[in-house]
Chains A and B, each alone.
Chain A
């Protein structure tokens, strides 16, 4: 069984700084390679082929949640 690799990050941003993260992800998709790393783990993902892409939004009172999700299978 292969070891599961995980990367996660939780921060507080504003519109301006969110754009920097989206830019970084956009560049990754363009190049077909996104490296995600911290001290414990380096996770390199290579989006390719068909990618399942979903956007979900929810608005409840003044609380808004927007989830963006990408899923794909690793290419041989």
Chain B
């Protein structure tokens, strides 16, 4: 790649300078000669300069050329990340040297085992250039591993210093030593960023080292013969809950067989795995197959069948009436089957208001004006938000469902996939599935449609129609199953979903329309609280969007 010649040359020089910086820092810790200290400070200026030059080169390359391939752009981005972190390592060297002024005598530091830190960091630095230029993932991993080793060394030194803090003498020296080790530990963090930047330049996707390792393990566990270099990884989305989801393409298959890689906290991934297994017993074709599951510490990963199709949300936004009608038809059929097949005579309370309470701080952080006090207009008093929630919590206790069914748990329109060719719908993102109140799924579904920030009249009409149809269908299911409190529970579910959805909506008017709907329903429920719940009627207009 002659085009990158200057970029390559500069990063090579920069790595060399930082390695020398580290060698000199180690020598200074043995023997702090003033001339050597000056050399480190001067070199830091040079390294800063390298960083600026590289930053300019990177940005001018990216912006100056319109025909750069993604691979080249990713390489440039990785170089920029690496140079930023190399400069940090040099800064930490200067910080370490500066700390020596606070030591009463250098021998104090010699009681601690600092050379292994330098060995780890230096040997990682040696791997940066070959790792980057040869797209060598093993070297990238070795660099990442150095951070782990440096952390271990730091822990040892830290524990030793803390223990010695109990003895009266030399506290100032002890704290200075601790600072020195802390800077070494931070060099390790910078190395991790460098290693991950190399992984990024290979994959073209930002993968944390533990995500990369999980991916390799997952692919290994399904006896996949593809070299990890050849795997196409396309990030699909990073969910709000922090799971990493990517689509992996097998280059050896012409049709481009894809699998879904999901990585996140093991508690959540494990729960999803269990739920998918439960779903497969109930309705096998509704959910993806699990190809592998791996757990490592607090994190876990899965390889899942990649389900072809488009989400119901995309279908609504495409405004293709026939496709929407087909999807809705299949959804109603599917839910009828699932609910009838899994119905149990076990009463259940969804705890909508408890769910709301858990998220209330997040809502008020974005919309503090939603926290209102009691309002009085003459003799008419409307309670404060706190009071409204308190009353709703009380009335919710007596408002459970008399039966339970197996629910999706997060039935928003993004989690329903429609495959037109197969005339099939699929459910995805199943970590919240359980035996529960189907009204949970109904309310999440209705509000997930409502909260789409689209204001085109035609599209809104389609959404209103979808909601109206879905509401009628579920209400009919309630009537057929003698569910007398359906309307009241749906009101609670909608209060919860409308209210908590505002935390993702910065358009004040749109957020307000959802918030006002939640309060309106709350007021209706509260004024009905001394009457039989079977007589409560859900105001159907509430999940229809109107322009005011």
- A residues in contact (CB < 8 Å) with B: 9-14, 17, 20-21, 23-25, 27-28, 34-40, 63
Q: In the bound complex, do residue A24 and residue B377 qualify as a contact, i.e. CB atoms below 8 Å apart?
A: yes
Which of B373, B376, B379, B516 touches A11 (beta carbons < 8 Å)?
B516
Can you identify 10 A-B contacts, CB atoms within 8 angstroms?
A: A9-B375, A10-B512, A10-B516, A11-B520, A12-B517, A14-B520, A27-B378, A36-B376, A38-B374, A39-B384
A35 to chain B: closest CB distance in Å? 6
Q: In the bound complex, do residue A21 and residue B377 qualify as a contact, i.e. CB atoms below 8 Å apart?
A: yes
Apart from A21-B377, A27-B378, A38-B375, 9 more pairs, CB < 8 Å: A11-B520, A12-B520, A14-B520, A17-B520, A17-B523, A17-B524, A28-B377, A35-B376, A39-B372
Chain B neighbourhood of A13, CB < 8 A:
520
Chain B neighbourhood of A21, CB < 8 A:
377, 380
Q: In the bound complex, do residue A37 and residue B523 qualify as a contact, i.e. CB atoms below 8 Å apart?
A: no
Nearest CB in chain A to that of B457: its residue = A61
Scoring B372, B375, B524, B547 by chain A CB atoms within 10 A of each residue's CB, the highest score goes to B375
Do A34 and B373 form a contact, CB below 8 Å, given A10-B516, A11-B516? no
- B residues in contact (CB < 8 Å) with A: 372-380, 384, 512-513, 516-517, 519-520, 523-524, 527, 539, 547-548
Chain B neighbourhood of A36, CB < 8 A:
376-378
Q: In the bound complex, do residue A34 and residue B516 qualify as a contact, i.e. CB atoms below 8 Å apart?
A: no
Q: In the bound complex, do residue A12 and residue B516 qualify as a contact, i.e. CB atoms below 8 Å apart?
A: yes
Question: Cα distance A25–B378 when bound, in Å?
Answer: 7
Question: Cα distance A9–B519 when bound, in Å?
Answer: 13
Nearest CB in chain A to that of B376: its residue = A37
Q: In the bound complex, do residue A34 and residue B539 qualify as a contact, i.e. CB atoms below 8 Å apart?
A: no
Q: In the bound complex, do residue B519 and residue A24 qualify as a contact, i.e. CB atoms below 8 Å apart?
A: no
Nearest CB in chain B to that of A39: its residue = B373
Question: Cα distance A35–B216 when bound, in Å?
Answer: 69
Chain B neighbourhood of A14, CB < 8 A:
520, 539
Chain A neighbourhood of B513, CB < 8 A:
12
9 A-B pairs with the lowest CB-CB distances in the bound complex, closest first: A39-B373, A24-B380, A12-B516, A24-B378, A12-B520, A28-B378, A37-B376, A24-B377, A38-B375
Question: Cα distance A11–B374 when bound, in Å?
Answer: 13
B179 to chain A: closest CB distance in Å? 49
Q: In the bound complex, do residue A40 and residue B378 qualify as a contact, i.e. CB atoms below 8 Å apart?
A: no
Scoring B384, B513, B520 by chain A CB atoms within 10 A of each residue's CB, the highest score goes to B520
Chain A neighbourhood of B380, CB < 8 A:
20-21, 23-24
Nearest CB in chain A to that of B547: its residue = A63
B513 to chain A: closest CB distance in Å? 8
Question: Cα distance A40–B373 when bound, in Å?
Answer: 9
Which of A20, A23, A27, A37 touches B375 (beta carbons < 8 Å)?
A37
Chain B neighbourhood of A38, CB < 8 A:
372-376
A22 to chain B: closest CB distance in Å? 10
A70 to chain B: closest CB distance in Å? 14
Question: Cα distance A76–B41 when bound, in Å?
Answer: 80
Question: Cα distance A34–B379 when bound, in Å?
Answer: 9
B395 to chain A: closest CB distance in Å? 18
Chain B neighbourhood of A24, CB < 8 A:
377-380
Do A34 and B520 form a contact, CB below 8 Å, given A39-B373, A63-B547, A63-B548? no
Nearest CB in chain B to that of A33: its residue = B378
A64 to chain B: closest CB distance in Å? 10
Question: Cα distance A37–B377 when bound, in Å?
Answer: 7
Q: In the bound complex, do residue A11 and residue B519 qualify as a contact, i.e. CB atoms below 8 Å apart?
A: yes
Q: In the bound complex, do residue A39 and residue B376 qualify as a contact, i.e. CB atoms below 8 Å apart?
A: no
B289 to chain A: closest CB distance in Å? 45
Nearest CB in chain B to that of A63: its residue = B547
B27 to chain A: closest CB distance in Å? 67
B373 to chain A: closest CB distance in Å? 3
Chain A neighbourhood of B377, CB < 8 A:
9, 21, 24-25, 28, 34-36
Question: Cα distance A35–B380 when bound, in Å?
Answer: 10
Chain A neighbourhood of B372, CB < 8 A:
38-39
Chain A neighbourhood of B524, CB < 8 A:
17
Chain B neighbourhood of A9, CB < 8 A:
375, 377
Question: Cα distance A52–B520 when bound, in Å?
Answer: 31
Question: Cα distance A20–B379 when bound, in Å?
Answer: 10
B5 to chain A: closest CB distance in Å? 64
Chain A neighbourhood of B373, CB < 8 A:
38-40
Question: Cα distance A21–B539 when bound, in Å?
Answer: 19
Chain A neighbourhood of B516, CB < 8 A:
10-12
Chain A neighbourhood of B520, CB < 8 A:
11-14, 17
Chain B neighbourhood of A39, CB < 8 A:
372-374, 384
Do A34 and B375 form a contact, CB below 8 Å, given A11-B520, A12-B516, A17-B523? no
Chain A neighbourhood of B376, CB < 8 A:
35-38
A75 to chain B: closest CB distance in Å? 19
B237 to chain A: closest CB distance in Å? 33
Q: In the bound complex, do residue B374 and residue A34 qualify as a contact, i.e. CB atoms below 8 Å apart?
A: no
Nearest CB in chain A to that of B517: its residue = A12
